[in-house]
Chain A
Amino acid sequence: MIAAASAFAIGAILIAILLNLYRLIAGPDVTDRILALDTMVINAIGLIVLTGILFSTTMYFEAALLFAMVGFVSTVAFCKFLMRGNVIE
């Protein structure tokens, strides 16, 4: 039952990442692209968590935590650069 539900969730997240990729390429403004990248990072974290469940190992959670941190910092740095023309003033 868990394997079937994991397969469903992996399929849903794969389609979601394709939709994010569409917005990343087609986004009319750069803020749309930043938003798409942020969403893509969260989808990648979901995929990593699902991999951990499928292989019954807790080894991948460090990777998920690192992805979360790097995604947040890069989003804030992009937005800061757009608003101020500089990241660290």
Chain B
Amino acid sequence: MMTTLIEAVIAFFLMVGGGFMFVGSFGLAKLPDTMRRLHGPTKATTLGIGALLIASLLYFVVLNGAAGIHEVMITLFLFLTAPVSAVMIAKAHLFRSEAVQRALPEDDNGAGWATLAPPPDGIDHRPS
């Protein structure tokens, strides 16, 4: 039987998770430019989904008497991939933004600061 205490803990994690996911998306909609918009989804939303998965883990431990591997797998996967996708989006933004390209010093290989070598087709994809 589910005790009131563990129920309160699960409800707390559910509310923290929902609140932080809302805060992350609110930051995405509200903040003024791309680099600042990256903060919301990469930090607040990841914390929110982590809290939701902790709540789910506790709920199914109490319900079934055994911990499932699924929540741990989803948590690990999301926490490993969120920084990678944030870095990719930041590099794509560096590569595409004309103002950022002009503000940075000249690089060696003519591909901008976001990539190591020019693209194989030899076309300059930077905004002109």
Contact = CB atoms under 8 A, between A and B. Distances in A.
Given A2-B11, A5-B10, A45-B74, A82 B53 contact: no
B47 to A, nearest CB: 11
Nearest to B30: A19
B89 A34 contact: yes
Contacts, number: 174
Interface residues of B, number: 60
A9 B48 CA distance: 10
Interface residues of A, number: 55
A23 B89 CA distance: 15
B92 A83 contact: yes
A35 B49 contact: no
B125 A39 contact: no
A5 B6 CA distance: 13
Contacts of B14: 2, 5-6, 8-9, 50, 53
* 6 shortest interchain CB distances as A-B pairs: A9-B18, A16-B25, A61-B70, A5-B11, A12-B18, A79-B88
9 contacts: A2-B10, A22-B29, A42-B78, A45-B78, A49-B53, A53-B59, A82-B92, A82-B95, A83-B125
